[in-house]
Amino acid sequence: MAVETTENGNGPSTLLDVRGLVKYFPIKRGFFRRTVGTVKAVDDISFDIREGETLSLVGESGCGKSTTARSIIRAYEPTAGEILFKTEDGEAIDLAQLSLVEMRPIRRQLQMIFQDPFSSLNPRMNIYEIISEPLLVHGIGSSSEREDRVAELLRVVRLRPEYMRRYPHAFSGGQRQRIGIARALALNPRLILADEPVSGLDVSVQAQVINLMMDLQDSLGLTYLFVSHDLSVVKQISNRVVVMYVGRIAEIGTPQELFDSPKHPYTAALMSSVPKPHPSQRTKRYVLEGEVANPANPPTGCYFHPRCPFATDQCKVEVPPLVKSKDGRYVSCHRADEIELTAN
């Protein structure tokens, strides 16, 4: 397994190591804005991303996957935990401890691609201004060098450099998303956080953007943290997948492992909910009862226990730790080794 090789020191090294990340949002009410509760958006999660891989965070809306990505890039202030990022000189820095000024040079190496290509590009800036802005902010190159760089980036994302004086409205959704990718690549980042990058696109255009992202990864040695609710897209692009439920990790594994032999009952339910691609595969779905738990008032014990067909008394009181199972996979379920699950 990939996990083993890293621990033996033979595999690719860890680029980002998230340890015990917590992000709570206060709920404020009334005239004095008193804090009356907390939303536990991300509640003690740990995972690592290796150089050159695509790690995906999946889960239903409100599971904390976007909050995790935003905390890593420090768009949100993490409540607790370590975010160890290996810089170019091989030194591991805890991003959670840096001040925003110290964070600025690191941001060159961490870039983000957003979901909505219609609202993430400033309509009053032309394409040259949009893509060169990160270069300008970081004081890189003269104006003619920047222009050359923008032309090069446009070619990389398969747009014509002649278009650089045009404004975003002249481009389709797929083209705008490629402009967003070009902007993210401008500073030669090492880790790209992509939050639902193809969800806003028409299905016939999604494949273009996914293929481009995979090609860029191969040619530029990029590492992706990919956030998506679309399990089919995740399966296609990822090396490993982190399944989240109400701010916690249910399971980590390769897409094939999670789909063929899920260990956590939630993973099995999630995979089983994905529509089958051919009508002959219509089967009785394993339909989850009930609603996703409320992160402001989560249940005791394992957050999934009220919906879990395998829950025991232990699950109602004790939080299952994320442990490495016998075959080297990470699961947080008290009964992972006893129950037989299938996604189909």
Partner 1 sequence: MSEKPAGLDAEPVISVRDLETHFFTDEGIVRAVDGVNFDVHPGTTMGIVGESGCGKSITAKSILQIVEAPGRIVNGEINYRRGSGETVNLLNYESGSGNMRAIRGGDISMIFQEPMTSFSGLHTFGNQIDEALRLHTNLAKQERFDLAVDWLARVGIPNPVQRMHEYPFRFSGGQLQRAMIAMAMCTNPRVLIADEPTTALDVTTQAQILDLLQRMQEENDMAILFITHDLGVISEIADEVTVMYLGKVVESGPVFSFFDEPKHPYSRALQTSIPSMFTSSRERLPSISGSIPHPQNRPSGCAFHPRCQSFMEGTCDVGEPELVSVNEEQEVSCFLYEER
- The residue ranges that bind partner 1 (CB under 8 A) are 60-61, 172-175, 202-208, 210-211, 214, 229, 231-233, 235-239, 254-256, 259, 269-282, 285, 287-288, 291-292
Q: Which CB atom, from 33 or from 282, has the smaller least distance to partner 1?
A: 282
- 3-state class (DSSP) for residue 210: helix
Classify residue 279 as left (phi > 0), alpha (psi -120 to 50) or beta. Answer: alpha
Choice between 46 and 236, CB closer to partner 1:
236
Residue showing tokens 């680029």: 15
Least separation in angstroms between residue 254's CB and partner 1 is 7
Minimum CB separation from partner 1 for residue 102, in Å? Answer: 36
Q: How far is the CB of 234 from partner 1 (least distance, A)?
A: 9
Using left for φ > 0, alpha for ψ between -120 and 50, and beta otherwise, residue 81 falls in left
Give the nearer residue to partner 1 in terms of CB position, either 13 or 256. Answer: 256
Q: Are 271 and 285 contacting, i.e. CB atoms less than 8 angstroms apart?
A: no
- Pairing state between β 54-58 and 240-245: parallel
Beta carbon of residue 342, minimum distance to partner 1 (angstroms, whole number): 13
* Alpha-helical runs (H) found in the chain: 2-8, 65-72, 100-107, 127-137, 143-156, 173-185, 203-220, 231-237, 255-260, 265-273, 313-317
Collapsing DSSP to helix, strand or coil, 7 comes out as helix
Q: Are 301 and 308 in contact (CB under 8 A)?
A: no
Q: State in angstroms the smallest separation of the CB of 10 from partner 1.
A: 21
Specify the residue, 124 or 278, whose C-beta has the smaller distance to partner 1.
278
Exposed e or buried b per residue across 79-104, where buried means at least 16 C-beta atoms within 10 angstroms of its C-beta: bebbbbbbeeeeeeeebbebeeeeee
Tokens of 269: 């339910």
Pick between residue 72 and residue 269 the one whose CB is nearest to partner 1: 269
- Do residues 204 and 236 lie in contact, with contact meaning Cβ atoms separated by under 8 Å? no
**Smallest separation (angstroms) from partner 1 to the CB of 277:** 4
Nearest to partner 1 of 41, 96 (CB atom): 41
State residue 78 phi and psi, 5-degree precision: -60, 140
Q: How far is the CB of 226 from partner 1 (least distance, A)?
A: 12
Nearer to partner 1, 273 or 312 (CB): 273
Q: Which is nearer to partner 1, 85 or 226 (CB)?
A: 226
Angstrom distance (rounded) from CA 117 to CA 51: 27
Nearest-approach distance from CB 33 to partner 1, in angstroms: 21
